[in-house]
Amino acid sequence: MIAVVSLVYTNSSCSSGSSGPATYCDTTCIGDTMKFELKEPNNLRAYISARNCKADTIMWTNRYLNNWLKLDFGEVVSPDVRVNKDNITIHFVDTSFLWIELKDCITGRGYLSKLSYNTKGKRSRYTSGLTRFDKKNVIEDGLIAYFDKVFVYVQNIKTGEELKMKIATQTALDFEYDHFRDILDSVNITSKRIYAKVKRTPESEWIDIEKAISFK
d(CA 109, CA 87): 11
3 lies in the same domain as 102: yes
Count the domains in the chain. 2
Closest CA to 130 of 106, 150, 111: 111
Closest CA to 80 of 111, 42, 49: 111
79 lies in the same domain as 123: yes
Domain extent for 216: 135-216
On the question of a cis peptide bond just before residue 21, with omega within 30 degrees of 0, the verdict is no
157 lies in the same domain as 193: yes
127 lies in the same domain as 205: no
117 lies in the same domain as 14: yes
Is pTM beyond 0.85 here? yes
25 lies in the same domain as 124: yes
Mean pLDDT by 10 residues, the chain (216 residues): 64 45 73 91 95 92 96 91 90 96 93 95 94 95 97 97 95 91 96 96 93 97
Contact assessment for residue 35 and residue 10, using Cβ atoms and an 8 Å cutoff: yes
70 in the Ramachandran plot: left (φ > 0), alpha (ψ -120 to 50) or beta?
beta
* Coil/strand/helix, residue 76: helix
10 lies in the same domain as 73: yes
66 lies in the same domain as 94: yes
pLDDT in the model for residue 99: 97
Domain boundary among 132, 158, 178: 132
User: What dihedral do alpha carbons 37, 38, 41, 43 form, nearest 10°?
Assistant: -10
139 lies in the same domain as 173: yes
Contact assessment for residue 150 and residue 168, using Cβ atoms and an 8 Å cutoff: yes
144 lies in the same domain as 107: no
Domain boundary among 86, 105, 132: 132
Instruction: Provide the 10 A C-beta neighbour count for residue 63.
Output: 12
Closest CA to 1 of 86, 62, 68: 62
Domain boundary among 107, 132, 157: 132
159 lies in the same domain as 200: yes
118 lies in the same domain as 177: no
d(CA 148, CA 196): 13
Contact assessment for residue 49 and residue 33, using Cβ atoms and an 8 Å cutoff: yes
